[in-house]
Amino acid sequence: MVFSGRPSTACLACRRRRLNCDRIPAGCSQCKRKNIVCTGYRDPSALRVKDETAKTWCKFEKKASGCASTAETSLPPTAAPKNMAKLSSAEMIFDAQTSTTPPCGRVDEPLKSLDLNITVPRRNSSHHLSIAYFFSSYIYATSFQAYLPAFFLDSPRTGDACSTAIEATAIAAYSRRVRSCIGIEESRKRYAKALAQVNKLLSSPESAVLDRTLACVLVLGLFEAIVFKGGAHPANWTAHTHGAMQLLRLRGPQQFKSRLSRTISSHASNNIKTCCIQRSVPVPEDFLAFDRQLRSLHDILDPSTLMAPMMHAVASIKAKALANPDCNLIHDALRLDRQILLLSKTVPDWMVYEIRPECESPSWAYKRACHHYPNARAAKAWNGIRLFQFFLVIFIMDCLSPEDGNARRRLSKLQIPDSSKSLSRYVKELKEYVTKTMDVISTDLLATIPMFLENDGHGGRFIPVARSLVWPLAIVECSDLSPQPARKFARQHLDMLASDLNIPEAVHPARFDDPVEDWLHLFHLG
């Protein structure tokens, strides 16, 4: 490791311009004069480590052979096995506290996360680093992992809409991780090109029904999720999702013929159902029929197949409650909650997890509770189930806590299954059940955090797939039903996650200003 000098304590804007920052606590006067927001000042005691791997490799190649890099460039990936590298991550710069007692870490066993056998040429190029990071780290444990490598790595079509969309999204993901504004601008240019290309494909009935076209639309939606800025409505992502639904209708029975087609269709279907849940609208009837047919041909142990009935039911309950408030929907929610508990006891083997003994759990873990899952995919699936439970218990409590006269009149019409109980006693029991359930769900969710951390030698850092924690952690933090210690713990780790993965939207103050139009589901699906 080489000492590169004392780090500057100036704010980011002054560091970039090499200005003499006066470091006023409320914000430097240099930024104030330029009418820009001062980003604050980094901790000078924090360890700054820069990954020099690519630079060192380039120097070594030049020293060994003056024309080595030229020869390398001319070789296709399959023809240069000695010049290939398996990249598990593309993280370039990170901050880590030097304290010997980090605020969080992970269990001793290595996380089975970055186990993809993705190989790329070892070249000193941000483009290739972006592709490597995207396929080996960013889409790990997401629905994209099941089919996207086949479209880009196995059968590349350089320059077509799908390839351009993947390149744009990869550059955006990598640039956001390393905080490169230049990279983001480059990704937007490629995105605009991909958008024009896919619009041309959609104008032709023959090309509109191709698997690559649907995959391209889904990738464009992922791009919108990556570059999304908090405080706005995710209109572009929603537009791509609605476009995917129209493509599913247009594609017809042909999308059930091959496994690849079914996988892509299932991914699009999952996005559409999640969008319906988020916006409290029912899943369209024709789409329900399509989804049943798709599930009958899909792997019964696949997460999308297991959760589809729950997603339909949650969307239906939320839509009915918005259109025609009725406190008796509580019974539907309780019935669905029991079904979810039953499913939790009969999950397939790949979802079975262990509850670590307290003596083996990290000392920082919430209630010293720690779950060990086979992989991050299983942890994500369980957290998806817990999301449904969050929706249900919060809905039940909202019905039981009327805020106006109309709501109180509706509650007075609540049907009581046991005629021997009074309404007040039944409501009290339901509230106790909701409070207890929320405590259990929150604890189980927070116990998954160690599975999304990697050990870099200076404490735990969140891996890219940890962005799926943003939505459930935000619910725990912001819900009055959550125990206060759980809310505090969730907030602490949201702050860390936002810092590690450079997603300030995770802690944006306007996250829940408009429950119908918030953006937290983008991180769960992206």
At 372, the amino acid letter reads: H
pLDDT at 253: 79
Q: Is the pLDDT at 90 greater than 50, yes or no?
A: no
Cα-flanking dihedrals φ and ψ of residue 158, to 5°?
Answer: -55, 125
Q: Is the pLDDT at 339 greater than 70, yes or no?
A: yes
Q: Is the pLDDT at 104 greater than 80, yes or no?
A: no
pLDDT at 459: 52
Residue (of 217, 120, 239) closest to 174 by Cα position: 120
Lowest-confidence range among 109-118, 186-195, 357-366?
Answer: 109-118
Q: Is the pLDDT at 217 greater than 90, yes or no?
A: yes
Which residues, in sequence order, are CB contacts of 264 under 8 Å at separation 6+?
Answer: 147, 211, 214, 215, 218, 255
Q: Is the pLDDT at 409 greater than 90, yes or no?
A: no
> What token pair was written down for 281?
């609208």
> pLDDT category, 303, cuts 50, 70, 90?
confident
The mean pLDDT value for 202-223 works out to 93
Report the alpha-carbon distance of residue 459 to residue 383 in Å, rounded.
24
> pLDDT category, 237, cuts 50, 70, 90?
confident
pLDDT at 35: 78
Residue 131: count of CB within 10 angstroms of its CB: 23
Q: Say if CB 386 and CB 444 are below 8 A apart.
A: yes
The mean pLDDT value for 74-97 works out to 34
Question: Cα dihedral sign for 162, 167, 170, 173?
Answer: negative
Please give the mean pLDDT across all residues of the chain: 81
459-517 pLDDT, tens digit each: 578 999 999 999 999 999 989 999 999 999 999 999 999 999 998 888 876 665 555 44
> pLDDT category, 108, cuts 50, 70, 90?
very low
% of the chain with per-residue pLDDT over 90:
43
pLDDT at 238: 86
Q: Say if CB 381 and CB 351 are below 8 A apart.
A: yes
Q: Say if CB 231 and CB 276 are below 8 A apart.
A: no
Residue showing tokens 């998806």: 384
C-alpha to C-alpha distances, 276 to 32, 283, 519, nearest whole angstrom: 43, 6, 13
The mean pLDDT value for 237-250 works out to 89
Terminal alpha carbon distance of the chain: 35
356-391 pLDDT, tens digit each: 999 888 889 999 999 999 999 999 999 999 999 999
The mean pLDDT value for 336-346 works out to 91
- The larger pLDDT score, comparing residue 478 to residue 456, is at 478
28-74 pLDDT, tens digit each: 888 888 878 787 887 776 666 666 666 665 566 566 555 444 433 33
- What are the extents of the domains in the chain? 344-526
Task: Give whichever of 345-349, 451-455, 506-510 has the largest mean pLDDT.
Answer: 345-349
Angle 227-493-135 from CA coordinates, rounded to 5°:
45
* Segment (H or E) for 462: strand 460-462
pLDDT at 231: 66
Q: Is the pLDDT at 458 greater than 50, yes or no?
A: no
> What token pair was written down for 126?
């941000």
127-184 pLDDT, tens digit each: 889 999 999 999 999 999 999 998 887 666 678 999 999 999 999 999 999 999 999 9
Residue (of 167, 169, 166, 147) closest to 223 by Cα position: 169
What b/e string do you get for 112-121 counting C-beta neighbours within 10 Å, with b at 16 or more? Answer: ebbebebbbb
Burial (Cβ within 10 Å: 0-12, 13-18, ≥19) of residue 368: middle
Q: Is the pLDDT at 396 greater than 80, yes or no?
A: yes
